[in-house]
């Protein structure tokens, strides 16, 4: 996964973010996951979303939802 400009890419960078900044990055990752146009973009967005939620859980004790990357059904 490449570096995301303006976002946290390491645990140390995540530690410097406020909860609201982390929530904003999570919302962006969720949007990218939902809007992904191919499986590679979708997989990368999913990994980012899960990582950011894990950082929020680690730093702010907000439980990360259990997520599983499922195949997208046609027609949705």
User: How does DSSP assign the chain, residue by residue?
Assistant: -PPPTTS--SHHHHHTS-HHHHHHHHHHHHHHHHH-SSHHHHHHHHHHHHHHHHHHHHHH--PPPP---PPPPTT-
In a domain, 30, yes or no: yes
Segments forming the whole domain that contains residue 30:
14-60
In a domain, 43, yes or no: yes
Distance (Å, whole) CA 69 – CA 47? 9
Look at the chain and report how many structural domains it folds into: 1
In a domain, 52, yes or no: yes
pTM exceeding the 0.95 threshold for the entire prediction: no
Residues 32-67 pLDDT 10s: 999 999 999 999 999 999 999 999 999 999 999 999
């Amino acid at each position: 996964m490449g570096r995301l400009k303006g976002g946290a890419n390491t645990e140390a960078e995540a530690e410097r973010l406020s909860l609201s900044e982390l929530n904003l990055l999570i919302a962006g990752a969720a949007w990218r996951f939902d809007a992904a146009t191919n499986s590679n973009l979708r997989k990368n967005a999913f990994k980012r979303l899960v990582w950011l939620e894990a950082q929020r859980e680690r730093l702010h004790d907000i439980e990360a939802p259990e997520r599983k990357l499922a195949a997208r059904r046609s027609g949705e």
